[in-house]
Structure formats: structure tokens, C-alpha cells
A = this chain, B = another copy of it.
Amino acid sequence: MVNDGKRSGRPRAGEERLSREAILTAALRIVDDDGIDALTMRRLAATLKVNPMSLYHHLPNKAAVLAGLAELVFAGLELPDPGDTVPWDEQLKAAARAYRDGLRQHPNLALQVLSDTSAVSDVVVVTMEPFYRALDRAGLAPREVFEAANTLIDFIHGFSLGEASVRAETFELAPDLLTRVRALPADKAPTLTRIVTELGPDGLAYDFDSGFESGLSTLVAGLRR
């Protein structure tokens, strides 16, 4: 109704304030800075100095914003292929490390990214190429390549999920686990109790990097059979 100084209506050519990319970029910053719950259409509009309803001309709804963010993360992945000069297992590990690193850049988005199946877009498909190449060089049959790639990616997803979740919480997993195990009735989980106790607080101080390497080595060893 009232137009109190602000220009309303369609902006002049070249003066558009919004675009799908601009919106998604702003959304990504909000999520990175303040978490996924902080992302509301109103706040998003506010940071873009725009009316909330304007967003809906570029994205159909909030779900599309989230899906767009997942897409953005995948698009930002850089999976440098060391090429065929290194052994296939090193090539495979390099791809896996790069994939994990990419997911780790936006921990607040991990959940969204990993559960958004519509993120099975071209970007994702291309992302998987280095895995396929390395596994192919390993001499696996097509079917084996397919399954091995899936297994590897599932592991990375599960690992990243844990990494993102724990990181979001207080960083107290190890001592917490130890305390909890000690409080258990002795016979509920004897082996676990013994092993955790033997490891002690220091041994339990879980280092994500070495945990990832360990899992990776196990998988590659299994593929090498």
C-alpha cells in the first residue's frame, strides 16, 4: 500500500538485487556462521536487504534452498586426481581424503548434504569419477568397482556424520565414554570394558585424522585381496 521511500516493483535492468546464486551464497554463510537452525527465510532476506517474499521468485521454497546448499557444497569439492603415475591405492586414498575434506568444510551442513538424495545431481556423479578410475586400475570387474565405490563412500559418509556431530557438541567424547563404561555393571559389556580401560584416557583421545586413515587402510587392504 504505502511506499515509504523504498522503491517497490520490478527493479531496473542490471539492478536486480537477487539471484539464485546470491541467495545460496548468503544462505551458506549463515549456516556456516550460526548453524542450520539459524537459516530462516526472514533472516536470509534480511541479510540480502530484501523482502522475504522476494526469495520465492528464485527458489520455490525453503527445501529448495537447502537442496541448493547441498549442491553448492558438492560443486565446491575439489578432488585432485594425482593421475595414473601413483599406485591405484594411493590414488584411491587421495580421492577419499579429498572427499572427506570437502564435506568437512561445512560441518553445519553435513547432515543436510548427506541425507539429500536429490543431491544426486551431475555434480555428485562427476565427483565420483576418481574413485571409479582408481578402482578400475586395481583390476576389479565393473560390478566390483561399483560396489567398492559405494562401500568406500558409505564409510566416508558415516565417518563425516560422526565427525560433524561430535564437533558440533562439546568435545568430550573420550572422557565421557570412559566414565560411562566404568559406571556399567561389570558383566554388561566385559570386553568393551576391558579394552576401553586398557586404552585409558590417552588411548581413547580419538584423533579424527588417524581414525580416518585407519579405516581407509582397512578398506583398501580388503580391496586388495
A105-134 with Cβ < 8 A to chain B: 111, 114-118, 120-122, 125-126, 128-129, 132-133
Q: Of the listed stretches A1-9, A26-34, A38-46, A183-191, name the one at the interface; the rest are far from the partner chain.
A: A183-191
Binding site for B on A (CB under 8 A): 111, 114-118, 120-122, 125-126, 128-129, 132-133, 136, 142-143, 145-148, 150-151, 153-159, 161-162, 164-166, 168-169, 173, 176-177, 180-181, 183-184, 188-192, 195-196, 198-199, 203-204, 206, 210-211, 214-215, 217-223, 225
Tell me the interface secondary structure of chain A in the complex: helix
In the complex, the answer to whether B125 meets A192 with C-beta atoms within 8 Å is yes
Name the B residues within 8 Å of A189 (CB-CB): 125-126, 128-129, 132
Name the B residues within 8 Å of A116 (CB-CB): 165
Q: Which of B114, B199, B211, B222 meets A142, CB within 8 Å?
A: B199
Q: Which of B115, B153, B214, B217 meets A111, CB within 8 Å?
A: B115
In the complex, the answer to whether B162 meets A157 with C-beta atoms within 8 Å is yes
In the complex, the answer to whether B143 meets A203 with C-beta atoms within 8 Å is yes
In the complex, the answer to whether B151 meets A155 with C-beta atoms within 8 Å is yes
User: Can you report 11 A-B residue pairs in the complex whose CB atoms are below 8 A from each other?
Assistant: A117-B168, A117-B169, A120-B173, A129-B189, A132-B191, A132-B192, A146-B204, A154-B161, A156-B158, A161-B161, A220-B222
Closest B residue by C-beta to A189: B129
Copies of this protein, total = 2
Q: A159-B158, A161-B115, A176-B120 are in contact. Are A129 and B222 (CB under 8 A)?
A: no
Name the B residues within 8 Å of A191 (CB-CB): 129, 132-133, 136
Q: A143-B203, A203-B143, A215-B150 are in contact. Are A181 and B125 (CB under 8 A)?
A: yes
Q: How far is the CA of A172 from the CA of B90 in the complex (A)?
A: 33
In the complex, the answer to whether B220 meets A122 with C-beta atoms within 8 Å is no
In the complex, the answer to whether B195 meets A145 with C-beta atoms within 8 Å is yes
Q: How far is the CA of A61 from the CA of B133 in the complex (A)?
A: 49
Q: A117-B165, A132-B191, A169-B118 are in contact. Are A180 and B221 (CB under 8 A)?
A: no
